[in-house]
Each structure stands twice: as C-alpha cells, then as structure tokens.
A and B are shown apart, each in its own frame.
Chain A
C-alpha cells in the first residue's frame, strides 16, 4: 500500500513537469496552430542558464527567477526574429524551422557546456519537508512550485486586461485587431510565456533526470501525450493531461512489477515507461483525436 502511494506521489511530481511543458506547447498551439518541437530544448537551454548562474555564485532561487526571465526574453526574441518572417509560410517550412531550432539549441548547449551529464541541486530542504515514506522533499517541492506557476498563469489569463487581450488574439486574430489588440505582440508574448513555463519545468526536473543537452527529449514526448490526452487546444486539459500521464505511467510500471512478483512473468516495468507515453499518443489519436476536453473542430470546406 505504501509503495502504491509512493508511486502515485512520484507520478504526480513527474506529471507536474509534463503539465508545464504540455501547457507551453498548447499556449503556442492555440495562438498559431503550430507545435513547437523545440520547446523541450529551449527548456533545457534555460536550465543550463540557471546552472551557469548558480556556478557563478548565485543562490538557487535567484538563478531560477533570472533564468525564467531570460527564457521569457529568449522566447519573445525567437518569435520576433525567427518566426515573424515566416508569417505566411506553409506549415512544413515552419516544422522544419522548429526542428532546426531543436538541433541548434541542442548543439549550442553541448558546445558551451559539453555533453557530460551534470548533477543539478535540489533547492528543497532534505529533512522536515515531504511526507516520510510517501513523497520525497524534491517531489513535493516540484508539485508545489508548478502549482504556483500554473495558478499565476491562470490568474494572469483570467483576470488581467493583457491576459484577456492575449486570449482574444488567440481566439480570433482579426476581430482582436479590430478592437485594437496588437496581435503580433501578443503572439510574441505567448512565446515568451511558453518559454518561461518550459524553463520552470526544466529547472524542476533537472535534479531528477540530471542535466545534459538531451534531458528533455523524453519529457517532450510525455508532454505531447499529455497535451493530446487533454485535447491539444485546451490549456486546462493539458495540465490535467500532464498529471494523468504522470500517474498512469507509474501505475502501469507498478502493475507490471506486481505481476512479475506474483507470477514471475515479466511483462512491463520501469524500462517501458516511455513506451506507455507513445501508446497513449497513438491510442488518443485513433480513439479520441480531440482529447478528453477538446472540441472536435468542424471546418467548412
């Protein structure tokens, strides 16, 4: 039983990370209809920035905030400089640009900081934090931090005029322009926010997966799965999808271990977790392409 609770708790902690990256993907998707394949690498890059700041002597939280802010700027700049000229380009060109960005971030990070795996500290106090035997201090901290970030984002989009303008720009760019919303800047801001949320995810997960240029590859896959489960156009769904996928992958591995223990037959275990994410992707796309909370988009031809 204790083991079961442990698995659920660590699933929630992983799920919080997936939720953040999934949300970053969805934020860009709803306003531009594109999936940013470089989202994970951007988060990885941000994590390296925070690591660099820490190695220069900054405290964890100071480096955290600075790295998130820098990521925001990075997102805005990428949108303005790289994607703006491709405003009317076909989807395929933009996909290629995203893959190019992915490769660039990956190799630049490798060139600057090398491909050697680095340890990354956890900011949460070892003792007196977490619930003994159920959830460790870092896992609890990750869940808390991501919940705070998600709460802030929700409040921003729901209660501020700027958030309202951004939602309007995503929903109906042309009408938004007609009421005076600067849609182009809203897109750039969306990119900035997505990069910032991704940075939070990267920094939070680095202690678990260790820091290296390929750290986000698997997580991006989980995030895709999460976004799909929730319905790719639905931010709230993406967050919930993240937690669902996080818990589900652990449950599958847990059940696999249980079966092995009782019958001695190995079916599935920790090694196949990533497979679970891919199965979820395929399953959702075939059975319910709109996701749990998505609406089926009807297009008039």
Chain B
C-alpha cells in the first residue's frame, strides 16, 4: 500500500538555526506511527515542518501529493475543514458521532472550554480535530501534564478512533512506553536525525532504547 505521508530529507530552520537534518519516514494508511526522542530532538519541529509552520526543505508528500509549498491552512484543509461546512445537520451528526468517543465532553457541553480540566481539554482538542473528518492526525504529546489515569483513557480512545474511523495517527510522545504500546511503527529522533526505526515491537526490545527511553 502507498504511504499516506511520505517525508524525505526534511530539514527545518528557526531563523539561522537548523534544527532538523535529514529526517525521513513514512506513515502507512490506517497505521499509528510514533516519533520518540529526548527533549530538543526535533519531534515537535517535525510536526511543525509537515504543516509548513517553520522554514523547511525536503520532500513532504501527503497521499501522493507534494505539499511542500502549501500554506498551513491549506495543508489542514486537505482533510476538509468543518467550519466551512454549510450543512448544519451533517455537522450535528458528526458531533454526535464524536461524542460517542468522548461521552465526558457531552456532559460538559454547556461549559466554557477554558474551565474544563486538563484531560477534558485534551479530549476536546482531539474531538475538534476529529470533526474535520481527518485522514491523518498529528498529535503532539497528548499525555502532556495529565494524570496517569487520564492518559491511559485518552490512549484507549485514540486506539478506538484509529480502528473505527480508520484515521492514521502520527504521535509524538515523551511517554515512550505508552507510545510504543499504541503505535505499530516507531522512529527515534536524536538532534534532528532519525537514528532508529522499525516496528514498535522491535524498537521496544532494542537494548539502547530500553535503557535510554524506557528506563529498565
């Protein structure tokens, strides 16, 4: 099967500083891929570079289409943006469907987003992304700052979304153990280079990875 997202020789720059050197990976349709790496390895920058939010060089191809020169909002629109939808009934149906993944949000429907708990806000962000009917979701540390129980809940929901909605996921995580459990493919970044890649089960059992990221 052709890759949904293909990244080759990706370089990214903040002003004069280069923070990605030759990053490359592929995401298969329907798969969950994770990017691991220490602080400053370039994980978030990679996501930003895909969306054209930083100056970048290299190849980024989505669904066979070169999106290198596309502005951020057009990249996002490749998955049909919800707010431009005219059909109110369709939007309502979509909302109901998204609520089946996040029953908690339905309870909070009258509340302002800013008054939700951290975990609920994270759910809201994922739910909003789902409203776009995306083919690929880029998630930047969905576990950040959340209680462990909530993190497990969110990861369980992500798996369901992946399986039922056939949404491919690119997951950037600090929590390597959880990420490797969820993902079927993993890439490890170090100072802007891909230093290792393979199926999660292989990466998980690699001795270096275990020592540096999993801590046992």
Contact = CB atoms under 8 A, between A and B. Distances in A.
B132 A180 contact: yes
Interface stretch (B25-33, B75-83, B93-101): B75-83
Residue of A164, A178, A180, A184 with most chain B CB atoms under a 10 A cut-off: A180
Interface residues of A, number: 13
A181 B73 contact: yes
B72 interface: yes
Given A164-B83, A165-B83, A182 B53 contact: no
B76 A179 contact: yes
Given A164-B83, A165-B83, A180 B53 contact: no
A133 interface: no
Nearest to B129: A179
A180 B83 CA distance: 8
A179 B53 contact: no
A183 B53 CA distance: 13
A151 interface: no
A182 B76 CA distance: 10
Interface in A172-198: 174, 176-184
Q: Chain B interface: which size bin?
A: 10 to 19
A178 B83 contact: no
B158 interface: no
B81 A179 contact: yes
A31 to B, nearest CB: 15
Contact of B83 (A161, A174, A177): A161
B71 interface: yes
Nearest to A180: B81
Interface centre among B53, B77, B83, B128 (most CB of A within 10 A): B83
A186 to B, nearest CB: 10
Contacts of B76: 177-180
A180 B82 CA distance: 9
B83 A181 contact: yes
Interface in B70-127: 71-73, 76-77, 81, 83-84
Closest 6 CB pairs of A and B: A180-B81, A177-B72, A180-B76, A177-B73, A180-B77, A182-B73
Given A161-B83, A177-B76, A180-B84, 5 more contacts: A174-B72, A178-B72, A178-B76, A179-B81, A180-B76
24 contacts: A161-B83, A161-B84, A164-B83, A165-B83, A174-B53, A176-B73, A177-B71, A177-B72, A177-B73, A178-B51, A178-B53, A178-B72, A178-B73, A179-B132, A180-B73, A180-B76, A180-B77, A180-B83, A180-B84, A180-B132, A181-B73, A181-B83, A183-B73, A184-B71
